[in-house]
Amino acid sequence: MSDQNQHTMQDPTSQYPKATAEWKQKQQEPGLQKEMNPIPDAGETSYRGTGRLAGRKAVVTGADSGIGRAAAIAFAREGADVLLSYLPEEEADAQEVVKLIEEAGQKAITIPGDLRDEQFCEQLIATAVEKLGGIDILANVAGKQQFVEDIADLTTEQFDATFKTNVYSLFWLCKAAVKHMKPGSSIINTSSIQAYKPSPILLDYATTKSAINTFTKALAQQVASKGIRVNAVAPGPVWTPLQVIGGQPTEKLAEFGANTPMGRPGQPAEMAPAYVFLASQESSYISGETLNANGGTPTP
Ligand code: NAD
Ligand code: MG
């Protein structure tokens, strides 16, 4: 572990580097974090837990890399057992996370598979209930983002895959999980700055993110009386595999995050505390909220 952790006071504008020309790189979807340069910081050596989620049973989708990986590591260090969802091609990244969770003294269950499939989503929640003994936290972090410049080139196949991954899976996982959740449980969805400031080249993706905000607000009201809270985290530009597999044009990666008030991209480690806060009892009176973690860009 490093001397620095998420509590160390420092200047946030220089806490992490700005992008440079060396950040231009390309991988095939879904990509591997371990093959990125620089490798994103998901809190592997820095996140320090203080028992905020002791005894919780958590499901994290997209847990192999990026923001989901940072949330999974933080949840484990805060005392939760974690079921990790990811795609089979991402096994190498996922195994690194398994190791970190076990080093934190928690249980890690893996279930690779495609969230675009309703039956798989149901099976994932059933596995959590069986192997973790229940489900207290559902962090929906998996997502698909592929830029297309012209609507004429945006295929129905891609539009459908983006909605299946980002929106339908959320519906299927929440539907299956709510049945098992006790009062005090928490669902955390992953929105984006794209919900408010859509890039023209992310027509399908940005539209799914505003759907996620609305889904979050509606479901939060529906399950409030059951003692279940539903919130969202809305990241700004964060250095993860998503960006190097066609989420952005490769050329644009050299200035990734430069247009935020802080002038730099975020790192996955900086998203984790938002997920921990919304998962824990500290946020007991907060539901239907979107927590923006975007380097200072104003949001509605
Ligand atoms: P990431 O590539 O590390 O994570 C995305 C994960 O989604 C993948 O690791 C993969 O496991 C999972 N996934 C994709 N398609 C899947 C499928 N069909 N079945 C199962 N799993 C699937 O990138 P990330 O940036 O950490 O993305 C996490 C979330 O953060 C996404 O919802 C993304 O939209 C959101 N987000 C990211 C940024 C950013 O700048 N990186 C900004 C705003 C929002
Ligand atoms: Mg991944």
Mean pLDDT, residues 175-201 taken together: 98
Measured distance CA(285)–CA(69) in Å, rounded: 27
In angstroms, what is the span from residue 223 Cα to ligand 2's centroid? 30
- CA atoms lying within 13 Å on the CB side of residue 181: 26
Helices 118-132 and 169-178 sit at what angle, rounded to 10 degrees?
40
Q: pLDDT by residue (tens digit) across 132-154?
A: 999 999 999 999 999 999 999 99
Strand partners, 61: 85
pLDDT tens column, 18-64: 999 999 999 999 999 999 999 999 999 999 999 999 999 999 999 99
Domain residue spans in the chain? 50-240+268-291
* Tokens of residue 190, six digits: 């992953």
Three-state DSSP at 136 gives coil
Q: Determine whether 205 is an active site residue.
A: yes
CATH of domain 50-240+268-291: 3.40.50.720
Q: For the chain, how are helix, strand and coil distributed in percent, rounded to 5? A: 45, 15, 45
Per-residue pLDDT reduced to its tens digit, 81-103: 999 999 999 999 999 999 999 99
Residue in this structure with the two tokens 């700005």, named with its chain if needed: 18
Q: What is the pLDDT of residue 114?
A: 99
* % residues pLDDT > 90 (the chain): 99
Index of the ligand 1 atom closest to the CA of residue 238: 40
Is residue 241 within 6 Å of ligand 1 at its C-beta?
yes
Is the predicted pLDDT of residue 161 greater than 80, yes or no?
yes
Residue nearest to atom 8 of ligand 1 (CA): 62
- Looking at the CA of residue 86, tell me the nearest atom of ligand 1: 11
* 63 C-alpha to ligand 2 centroid (Å): 7
| 67 CA closest ligand 1 atom index | 26
How do residues 1-23 score in pLDDT, each as one tens digit?
678 999 999 999 999 999 999 99
The whole-angstrom separation of Cα 248 and Cα 147 is: 6
User: How many Å is the Cα radius of gyration of the chain?
Assistant: 18
pLDDT single digits (tens) 196-251: 999 999 999 999 999 999 999 999 999 999 999 999 999 999 999 999 999 999 99
